[in-house]
Structure 1
């Protein structure tokens, strides 16, 4: 009897070992097929979530499509914009989170334009201009020279390179200025009809900002569409991370063959 029990015990142990070996073999075989579909999906979702958080609240790329900020920014420049500085905007809401800085005169700023009635297909584009005045400031132009609180201001950064144009040009869109005009200042009374080079004085309302392009004669800016609400500000450009001659190159594939290597890494000021 003892011999039978011993044989039975050995047989049971062998069956158990065999089953354990099969189980281990299945586990090892499963591991050899790599991560499961769900694990891959989680990795993709995590990557997308990180990208959206960074793009929404921290840093976003922005392309310069026009020459309104020449020579500070050129057509074909690609910028990294710091969205945290002035307070990131929560998409699809009217909520702006607090930032660690406030826009100051002289800053280059990315913002959502006030409503532009002359372009119904895209009435509120995202733009980049220079902030030249804040709430409470008095601004005007005479002979193409911009004045801030009675003091003449240079035309942006390296402005002597900017082309000149028709400063006597007038446009019906300039008439938005009329309710904000003031009389009796050092600039004299506002002109009957504002022009590109001669307008104001205007007082910037509280909570509003006034933007101009560095390239004044090729810039559709605050002279046309008015003051920008502070909550429309979206960020501060930091540096140029890529640039190519998008407007003046005669080479094929200029984004690869006509790169402005010397601009890459330029700090924007």
Structure 2
């Protein structure tokens, strides 16, 4: 849907822009020539109503000139600067909640054309702990949002609800880092629930990036469903060059890299940087209004994303 909208936006911008140029360099001068000819034929006594009719812009030209600046501004803003996204699921709880509307920095990881997504300007690379929006590798028509866990060359292990990380051994380093558990401490376990079970909220330190995650202690680890990288055991991955390993903060309610593999660099859309509005939805309310109508605004959530 996002790709289709981008294509439509580009086509509308090009179409209205071409109509504007056509009118400026061809149609408008022809209208002026007709006006001059008509004025000469009537010795300058051409009625004002007739003058207005001769120089009047066609409906298509008038409409195109009215909407082109707006559409062009939206295209540039959405394609190269910032794009709003809505959080549709709880896979990134507690960091992001259903009803959060976030802003994604489209130029953080370089710029791509909005149709073919060919990169034409390099910028920064994703870092561990970044929350990124990307094209789902199994269906690039769908946008996903997850947290970067592993960079190219990193070894990532997830077993028994514990995340282990071994950063890539850089060339020239005398001693390579080993596989170490990512440190976490419990915060609470009665704030969030899943199917009636209380979730454990932990504060996790991912290479210096502190953030909270959720664990369901009663949820069995689905090792048999994990993506099995050739030559490695289930739950043990080495991130290929040019790719990233991502996971949701709601560890037992997230379809992420553990199940389908890695995010290629060309699938990156941008970095989530802030919440600009957050709506609250009460699914259990007794009201004639549909459940998708918000019941309130969570003003306390507006701001930057950890």
Report if TM-score (shorter chain) is over 0.5.
Answer: yes
Q: Distance in 2 between matches of 1:99 and 1:248?
A: 44
Q: Distance in 1 between matches of 2:48 and 2:115?
A: 52
Distance 1:255 1:79, change over 3 A: farther
Higher strand share: 2
Q: Distance in 2 between matches of 1:235 and 1:135?
A: 18
Q: Distance in 2 between matches of 1:28 and 1:240?
A: 54
Q: Distance in 2 between matches of 1:69 and 1:45?
A: 37
Q: Distance in 1 between matches of 2:50 and 2:257?
A: 68
Q: Distance in 1 between matches of 2:262 and 2:107?
A: 23
The reply on whether 1:245 has 2:280 as its aligned counterpart is: yes
Q: SS state of the match for residue 217, structure 1?
A: coil
Contact 1:75 1:247 in 2 (8 A): no
Corresponding position of 1:259: 297
Distance 1:134 1:99, change over 3 A: same
Contact 2:227 2:260 in 1 (8 A): no
Match of 2:156 among 112, 115, 139: 139
The reply on whether 1:228 has 2:285 as its aligned counterpart is: no
Provide TM-score, normalisation by structure 1: 0.72
The reply on whether 1:103 has 2:156 as its aligned counterpart is: no
Corresponding position of 1:60: 83
Q: Distance in 1 between matches of 2:57 and 2:217?
A: 64
Q: Distance in 2 between matches of 1:80 and 1:249?
A: 29
Q: Distance in 1 between matches of 2:239 and 2:105?
A: 26
Corresponding position of 2:222: 170
Q: Distance in 2 between matches of 1:52 and 1:77?
A: 23
Contact 1:180 1:203 in 2 (8 A): no
Contact 1:78 1:240 in 2 (8 A): yes
Gaps of 5+ in 2: 1-41, 167-178, 185-203
Provide TM-score, normalisation by structure 2: 0.64
Q: Distance in 1 between matches of 2:263 and 2:146?
A: 11
- CA displacement at 1:176 relative to structure 2: 2.6
Which structure: larger Rg?
Answer: 1
Q: Distance in 2 between matches of 1:249 and 1:96?
A: 46
Q: Distance in 2 between matches of 1:123 and 1:112?
A: 5
Which structure 2 residues correspond to residues 155-234 of structure 1 after superposition, within 5 A?
A: 155=204, 158-159=211-212, 162-166=214-218, 168-170=220-222, 172-177=224-229, 179=230, 181=232, 190=233, 194=234, 199-200=235-236, 202-234=237-269
Contact 1:114 1:124 in 2 (8 A): no
Which stretch shifts more, 134-143 or 229-238?
134-143
- CA displacement at 1:140 relative to structure 2: 0.7
Q: Distance in 2 between matches of 1:84 and 1:24?
A: 55
Task: Give CA deviations for 1:155-205 in whole Å, capped at 9, x if unaligned.
Answer: 475426x2414453325542433x152xxxxxxxx4xxx3xxxx22x2211
Number of aligned residue pairs: give it: 226
Task: Give CA deviations for 1:198-234 in whole Å, capped at 9, x if unaligned.
Answer: x22x221111100011110111111000011111110
Distance 1:140 1:113, change over 3 A: same
Distance 1:174 1:51, change over 3 A: same
- CA displacement at 1:44 relative to structure 2: 1.1
Contact 2:161 2:221 in 1 (8 A): no
The reply on whether 1:69 has 2:88 as its aligned counterpart is: no
